[in-house]
Structure 1
Amino acid sequence: MIEKAKVEQVLGKIRVGLMADGGNIDLVDIKDNIVYVKLKGACGTCPMATLTLKNWVEKTLKSEIPEVKEVVAV
């Protein structure tokens, strides 16, 4: 089982970059090693949000927490 605190720690590193562009990210839930997040602010409406989610958020979480299968925006 993935620790919520560990996910929040990694998201904290990602938040710095998102906040610089007027966005943010919240952890919603973790089920079956899938991390559910909500993109907020500028990131919630950005046309590049899907790429940000998969190429940056998911890649970073998987590299630091190998148990993560996927990251899904809700």
Structure 2
Amino acid sequence: MIPFSDEDLKTPVSKIIDEKISPMLARDGGAIKLMGIKDAKVFVQLQGACVGCSASGSTLKFIVEKELKTWIHPDLEIVNVLVGEESKYEFN
């Protein structure tokens, strides 16, 4: 169980995305956007060169998920919101 509220997670998740993950993805023309956090699930959207890239699943698992779990909490769940499918989710 994660000992933080969704609201408590917003700042550290945003900071890790902005300072650690975004620069890594930008080197290859990719980008990431934090869509929201709900029930300790972090909803992100891979953008730029990551859209349609065959390695986007690995990027999500081995970069995004690894960094957030390492720096914040190992029980976080990361969900990729595909471009065009934003309406399927309700974000806070």
Give TM-score scaled by structure 2 length: 0.75
Q: Does 1:11 align with 2:17?
A: yes
- CA–CA separation in structure 2 for the residues paired with 1:3 and 1:68: 12
CA distance in 1, matches of 2:28, 2:75: 26
Corresponding residue number in structure 2 for 1:71: 78
User: What is the distance in 2 between the residues matched to 1:60 and 1:67?
Assistant: 10
Alpha-carbon deviation of 1:3? Answer: 2.3
Deviation at 1:60, TM superposition (A): 0.6
Moved over 6 A (4+): none
Q: Which residue of 2 aligns with 1:53?
A: 60
TM-score (norm 1): 0.92
Aligned partners of 1:34 and 1:68 also within 8 Å: no
Alpha-carbon shift at residue 70 of structure 1 (Å): 1.1
Counterpart-to-counterpart distance in 2, 1:28 and 1:44: 16
Of 16, 22, 31 in structure 2, the residue corresponding to residue 24 of structure 1 is 31
Identity %: 43
**Distance in 1 separating the partners of 2:30 and 2:75:** 23
- CA RMSD of the aligned region, Å? 1.2
Amino acid at match of 1:36: F
Greater per-residue strand proportion? 1
In the alignment, structure 1 segments of 5+ residues that lack a partner are: none
Query: 1:56 offset after TM fit, Å?
Result: 1.1
In the alignment, the residues of structure 1 paired with residue 75 and residue 42 of structure 2 have an alpha-carbon distance, to the nearest angstrom, of 7
